[in-house]
Amino acid sequence: MSTTIAPVDLAKAYRLLNHGPTVLVSARHNGESNVMAAAWACALDFSPPKLTVVVDKMTRTRALLEGSGTFVIQVPTAAQAQLTHAVGSHSLADQPDKLERAGVELFEFAGHDLPFVAGCSAWLACRLIPEPHNQQTYDLFIAEVVGAWADTRAFADGHWQFENTDPSWRSLHYVAGGQFYLTGDSLTVKVDEAL
Amino acid sequence: MSTTIAPVDLAKAYRLLNHGPTVLVSARHNGESNVMAAAWACALDFSPPKLTVVVDKMTRTRALLEGSGTFVIQVPTAAQAQLTHAVGSHSLADQPDKLERAGVELFEFAGHDLPFVAGCSAWLACRLIPEPHNQQTYDLFIAEVVGAWADTRAFADGHWQFENTDPSWRSLHYVAGGQFYLTGDSLTVKVDEAL
Asked whether residue B80 is assigned to any structural domain, the reply reads yes
pLDDT for B195: 42
- Domain of A110 in residue numbering reads as 5-182
The per-residue pLDDT for range B123-135, each reduced to its tens digit, is 999 999 999 999 9
Report the range of poorest mean pLDDT among A95-99, A190-194, B58-62: A190-194
State whether ipTM is beyond 0.90: yes
- Tell me whether residues A140 and B44 touch, CB distance under 8 A: yes
Q: Is the pLDDT of residue A149 over 70?
A: yes
The Cα A170–Cα A88 span in angstroms is 19
* Nearest-neighbour CA in chain A from B191: distance (Å): 6
Q: Check CB contact of B110 with chain A, cutoff 8 Å.
A: no
**B76 within 8 A of B85, measured Cβ to Cβ:** no
Nearest C-alpha neighbor of A190 from the set B170, B85, B175: B85
Q: What letter represents residue A120's amino acid?
A: C
Question: What average pLDDT does the structure give for chain A?
Answer: 96
CATH number at residue A60: 2.30.110.10
The total number of residues shown for chain A amounts to: 195
Contact A159 B175 (CB under 8 A): yes
Domain-embedded: residue B96: yes
Average pLDDT over residues A144-167: 97
Q: How far is B24 from chain A (nearest CA, A)?
A: 15
Query: Is B41 near chain A, with CB under 8 Å?
Result: yes
**Mean pLDDT of the B44-72 span:** 97
Considering only residues B195 and A98, tell me which one the structure prediction assigns the higher pLDDT. Answer: A98
- On whether any CB of chain A is under 8 Å from the CB of B87, the answer is no
Q: Does A172 touch chain B (CB under 8 A)?
A: yes
Residue A35: predicted pLDDT: 98
The 3-class SS string of chain A reads: CCCCEEECCHHHHHHHCCCCCCEEEEEEECCEEEEEEECCEEEEEECCEEEEEECCCCCHHHHHHHHHCEEEEEECEHHHHHHHHHHHHCCCCCCCCHHHHHCCCEECCCCCCCCEECCCCEEEEEEEECCHHHHHHHCEEEEEEEEEEEECCCEECCEECHHHCCHHHCEEEEEECCEEEEEEEEEECCCCCCC
Average pLDDT for A102-107: 98
- pLDDT of res. A93: 87
Is the confidence at residue A169, as pLDDT, over 90?
yes
Which residues have CB under 8 Å from B194's CB, separation 6+?
none
Q: Quick check: is A188 in a domain?
A: no
In a domain, A194, yes or no: no
3-state DSSP helix/strand/coil % of chain B, to nearest 5: 25, 40, 35
Q: B33-62 burial, b if ≥16 CB within 10 A, otherwise e?
A: bbbbbbbbbbbbbeeebbbbbbbeeebbbb
pLDDT of residue B1: 57
CB B150 within 8 A of CB B5: yes
Give the pLDDT of residue A188. 97
**Per-residue pLDDT, A195:** 43
Q: Give the type of residue at A97.
A: D
Cα separation, B79 vs B65, whole angstroms: 26
Q: What is the 3-state secondary structure (H, E, C) of B177-190?
A: CCEEEEEEEEEECC
How far is the C-alpha of A149 from the C-alpha of A128, rounded, in Å?
A: 18
pLDDT > 90? residue A65: yes
What percent of chain A has pLDDT above 70?
97
- A32 part of a folded domain: yes
Would you say how long chain B is, in residues? 195
Instruction: Indicate whether A191 belongs to any domain.
Output: no
Mean pLDDT of chain B: 96
Q: Is residue B195 part of a domain?
A: no
Does the pLDDT value for residue B5 go beyond 90? yes
Tell me if chain B has a CB within 8 Å of the CB of A136: no
Within 10 angstroms of residue A111's Cβ, the number of other Cβ atoms is: 8
Position B100 in a domain:
yes
Considering only CB atoms, B82 lies closest to which of A20, A133, A189, namely: A189
Note whether A78 contacts B44, CB cutoff 8 Å.
Answer: no
pLDDT at A166 over 90: yes
Least confident of A104-108, B2-6, B69-73, B145-149: B2-6
Report the number of distinct structural domains present in chain A.
1
Q: Cα–chain-centroid distance for residue B37?
A: 8
